[in-house]
Amino acid sequence: MKWMRNCFCLTVALFASMAAISTIAWADGPDTLSQDPNQWVIPLGNYHGTRHSKLSQITVDNAAKLKVAWTMSTGTLRGQEGQPLVVGNMMYFESSYPNFIYAVDLDNIGRMAWKFAPEQDKFAPSVACCDVVNRGLSYADGKILAITLDTHVYALDAKTGQVIWKVQNGDPEQGQTMTMAPLVVHDKVIVGISGGEFGVRGFLTAYDLTTGKMAWRAYSVGSDEDIKFDGAKTIDGATQALVGKDSSVKTWQGDEWKLGGGTTWGWYSYDPTLNLVYYGTGNPGTWNPTQRPGDNKWSTTLIARNPDTGVAAWAYQMTPHDAWDYDGVNESVLTDSAVDGQTVPTLTHFDRNGFAYVLDRRNGKLLRANKFDPSTNWASEVDLKTGRPVLDPAKMTKSDVNVKDICPAAMGAKNHQPVSYDPNTKLFYVASNHICMDYQAFSVKYKGGFPYVGAILNMFPADHGDVRGRLFAFDAVSGETKWVINDMFQDYSGPLTTDGGVLFAGTLDGWFRAVDESSGKVLYKFHAPSGIIGNPMTYMHDGKQYVAVLTGVGGWAAIGLAEGLTKGSEGLGAVGLTHTLSDYTNLGGTLVVFSLE
């Protein structure tokens, strides 16, 4: 059974510049190299995850002159959720399953420098929730770091594509898969795990960049030793108190935590000054909340960890006792924000649950939590003193009850598609979902490698019309929306902003758009061969700015089209939501690169 969600990916990269790839001194790490806007060396653009480029050759005045510069097939027909890297004169990207990895010499487009086709466990696609997607590569010290759906982690020679080392991070037979992009910090390659719908207990793992040897593993739920929480040192961001002993297991009934979910399939960020890695954990298992009384910590949680040891500094749970599948795995964007008259190092997180959280990233203290989708109704607000949502009891799901009109739907007000933050406008640019659901939970028993869901969902547009997606500019501190573009289908492509004042993003039905950041005016659009769920990036080569995006519809948003499903409640309710998508686009996989005439 293949449907829905776990699109695991985050990442960071390290790179070499210059015309040919060569091993770099570690002093020239990702943070330094990502400051060169001519390259795109980290999946989210930089350690802080802003997805903003300083390039400005393409502007509001000339964006209408964009054209397709070149294209390349990915060799696959399933959802393409990642983005290319550009390191020096080389471009690297990874396809959806079977996870082909390509190196393209930008001085000799049309000839692949190398291609790597990993051997995979063919069982893995059968337990891949929400399509067989991949969210990209990382680069470090002359190596391309990649993950495959069947849970292998590879270090490849960036010059040749030869395998330097590989390790297995999970077991598909137990429902474990991998879809995220790795993050490289210091000498550690950090990866997560997918499989929350199969009773997988989530974890984050660090491997040695040189040897592939495991350095540490930290689970999301379980004993203090397993989750690497020190009750006398780790801070509960909601209360600003210490988490205390057994902060996770005491919030579960019996041994339910052993099937507790909290998978780690999203994006990761890093603050070099504080030496903390930030990431979110997924939904608890099962989807039937009646089977797991308690807060179910630390699922649906933002966690800060030391990348060298894995030890947690703080944790903030956004959706205690998650009863709606509101995974907390979306990206954390690190900026400095003016809050209550003070400039604070903040973490901003647009959660599946419809709230945009602004936290002090030093200690996890909640500063703001504003609704970014107006339909959000499962909670009226988030109490800034307690950090807990103020629930609407009528929207609380429970076993054997069909709860109607819950907003947002389980797919979230925003799913994996990362936001962009422009430091010039101090605004976030968000591609989102505008959808609601009916949710009926039921009892389910666990069996390894089989779905452990326990819910039937039906999803529909929030306003019962033809708007399922919104692209908008948002002030996360004030909660003000500056402008909005409404779309027929979910907006599932993470925006890119630039110093030229132009935003780039794709749509589920295949339109690639350049948009004026200040007004939301569409300056240019091109209909791609397939719908777009990948994230645009930009680079400079031979004095010309290029914008590249992977096209290829799929993911949970288009699982009906990807899997050939037709019943509305299939794909955990997503199929009925986009039943007309096939009238507008088809499966495909193509890298499309744009430039000015």
Q: What is the pLDDT of residues 105-135, one digit of tens each?
A: 999 998 999 999 999 999 999 999 899 999 9
Return all residues near 564 (Cβ < 8 A) that are at least 6 apart: none
Sheet holding 355-360, edge to edge: 333-339, 342-350, 355-360, 365-371
Where in 128-213 does DSSP place strands (E)?
138-140, 143-147, 152-157, 163-168, 183-185, 188-191, 203-208
Q: What six digits make up the tokens of 21?
A: 């790839």
Contact criterion met (CB below 8 Å) for 542 and 558: no
Say whether pLDDT at 7 is over 90: no
pLDDT value of residue 19: 30
Residue 30's pLDDT band (cuts 50, 70, 90): confident
The mean per-residue pLDDT over the stretch 294-317 comes to 98
Q: Give tens-digit pLDDT for 523-550.
A: 999 999 999 999 999 999 999 999 999 9
Residue 264's pLDDT band (cuts 50, 70, 90): very high
Say whether pLDDT at 15 is over 50: no
Say whether pLDDT at 239 is over 70: yes
Say whether pLDDT at 324 is over 50: yes
Q: What six digits make up the tokens of 327?
A: 């995974």
Name the active-site residue from 105, 322, 325, 438. Answer: 325
Contact criterion met (CB below 8 Å) for 332 and 279: yes
Q: Give tens-digit pLDDT for 479-493.
A: 999 999 999 999 999
pLDDT value of residue 480: 98
The mean per-residue pLDDT over the stretch 302-314 comes to 98
463 assigned to active site: no
Among the residue ranges 348-357, 383-392, 436-445, 560-569, the one predicted with the least confidence is 560-569
User: Quick count: other Cβ atoms within 10 Å of Cβ 445?
Assistant: 10
Where in 29-137 does DSSP place strands (E)?
52-53, 66-73, 85-87, 90-94, 101-105, 112-116
CATH number of 30-596: 2.140.10.10
Say whether pLDDT at 5 is over 50: no
Residue 400's pLDDT band (cuts 50, 70, 90): very high
Q: Give tens-digit pLDDT for 39-49.
A: 999 999 999 99
Residue 597's pLDDT band (cuts 50, 70, 90): confident
pLDDT value of residue 407: 98
Residue 28's pLDDT band (cuts 50, 70, 90): low
Say whether pLDDT at 456 is over 70: yes
Length of the chain: 597
Neighbour-count burial of 446, counting CB atoms closer than 10 A to its CB (0-12 exposed, 13-18 middle, 19+ buried) = middle
Say whether pLDDT at 24 is over 50: no
pLDDT value of residue 27: 46
pLDDT value of residue 35: 87
Which residue type is seen at 202?
G
Residue 503's pLDDT band (cuts 50, 70, 90): very high
For 125, the 3-state DSSP assignment is helix
Say whether pLDDT at 416 is over 50: yes
Q: Where are the domains of the chain?
A: 30-596
For 22, the 3-state DSSP assignment is coil
Please tell me the distance from the alpha carbon of residue 580 to that of residue 577, in angstroms, as a whole number. 8
- What is the residue-averaged pLDDT of the chain? 94
Contact criterion met (CB below 8 Å) for 589 and 73: yes
